[in-house]
């Protein structure tokens, strides 16, 4: 006779209650995950429609494939920098890898037929490390090749987008371009209340008290906030140095407007943050003049999107789902949070 059979009705009811609670908690968690996935999927639909159109307006300059243009004559290279910029594009299909952008800059600028480079920037910025990688690449390539770099701003070129442009010789923007946002942010979400509602409890086992700094499962301590603030000020100082050197603005004077505020292109021109108001063609003409090619220069750019550029362009159009909500790990960012 099996003596392990539970004959106590009270114990059986208690076990059933625990199981039912666990099932309910799991169901809630699954519901929110499914709802988030569906919402994100629907947010991509308008982006796929928009991306079917070219991001470049038609210009007077004849645009050809890289191979065709290089066979004919000296040209101006156009390199797009779209969307939120991060170090590694493999972690999310909407991220733009800084390594790929830096590689394109080196490859195009070092070609003997390329006499100038136009960076077509439509970005709110990105992680500090990724932005600094592109910035330093531009400075190195400029020193090696002695070729002029022109930054052309689209709808948005703020924070890290502007940081990158500070390495260029000239900056051209539309009157209504959103730019500026000189500063640093470390976005941390506190989901402690939500976790409690769905029955999730985090119990980290760590080697030091700061090891789980930035955890979403709890509120940060004052000591942790001070530590992060010191990191932010350090990265902020690097931003100030880049703009001060690139735009020839005294650092102390720059601090008056480097408080994270955004500018229109008109306001940025008055503040000395850009050189000229104009469109894509104006940027090309300026590049032609500085390189000795004259106005309406030959242009080198890809006719078609690579998959990486395709998804990056989608990202540049999406403002429904902020990039910080996708990233699994918080990071220091030169990014305009309004995007």
Inform me whether the pLDDT recorded for 206 exceeds 50: yes
3-state class of 333 per DSSP? strand
Give me the domains of the chain, ranges plus CATH numbers.
44-181+262-324 (3.90.226.10)
Q: Is 159 a catalytic site residue?
A: yes
From 89, 98, 127, 159, the catalytic residue: 159
* Model pLDDT, residue 203: 78
Confidence of residue 190 (pLDDT cuts 50, 70, 90): confident
Q: Is 211 a catalytic site residue?
A: yes
Inform me whether the pLDDT recorded for 320 exceeds 80: no
Task: Give yes or no for a contact between 97 and 88, defined as CB atoms under 8 angstroms apart.
Answer: yes
The closest alpha carbon to 171, from 79, 77, 277, belongs to 277
SS3 content of the chain, % helix, strand, coil (to 5): 45, 15, 40
From 211, 251, 253, 270, the catalytic residue: 211
- Mean pLDDT over residues 232-256, rounded? 97
When mean pLDDT is compared over 87-101, 230-244, 294-308, the highest value belongs to 230-244
């Amino acid at each position: 006779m099996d003596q392990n059979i539970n004959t106590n009705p009270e114990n059986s009811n208690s076990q059933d209650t625990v199981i039912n609670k666990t099932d309910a908690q799991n169901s809630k968690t699954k519901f929110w995950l499914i709802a988030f996935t569906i919402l994100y999927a629907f947010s991509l639909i308008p982006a796929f429609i928009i991306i079917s159109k070219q991001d470049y307006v038609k210009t007077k300059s004849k645009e050809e494939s890289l191979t065709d243009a290089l066979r004919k004559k000296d040209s101006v290279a156009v390199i797009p920098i779209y969307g939120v910029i991060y170090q590694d594009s493999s972690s999310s299909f909407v991220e733009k890898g800084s390594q790929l952008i830096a590689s394109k800059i080196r490859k195009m600028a070092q070609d003997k037929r390329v006499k100038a480079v136009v960076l077509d920037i439509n970005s709110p910025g990105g992680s500090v490390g990724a932005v600094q990688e592109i910035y330093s690449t531009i400075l190195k390539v400029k020193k090696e090749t002695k070729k002029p770099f022109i930054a052309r701003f689209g709808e948005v070129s703020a924070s890290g987008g502007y940081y990158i442009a500070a390495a260029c010789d000239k900056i051209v923007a539309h009157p209504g371009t959103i730019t500026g946002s000189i500063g640093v942010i470390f976005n941390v979400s506190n989901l402690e209340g939500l976790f409690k509602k769905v029955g999730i409890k985090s119990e980290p086992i760590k080697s030091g008290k700061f090891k789980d700094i930035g955890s979403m499962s709890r509120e940060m301590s004052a000591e942790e906030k001070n530590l992060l603030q010191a990191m932010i000020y350090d990265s902020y100082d690097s931003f100030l140095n880049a703009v001060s050197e690139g735009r020839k603005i005294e650092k102390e004077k720059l601090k008056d407007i480097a408080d994270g505020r955004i500018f229109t292109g008109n306001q940025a021109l008055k503040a000395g943050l850009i050189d000229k108001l104009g469109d894509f063609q104006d940027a090309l003409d300026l590049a032609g003049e500085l390189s000795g090619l004259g106005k309406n220069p030959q242009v080198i750019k890809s006719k078609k999107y690579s998959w990486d550029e395709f998804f990056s362009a989608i990202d540049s159009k999406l403002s429904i789902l902020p990039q910080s909500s996708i990233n699994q790990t918080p990071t220091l960012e030169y990014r305009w949070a309004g995007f």
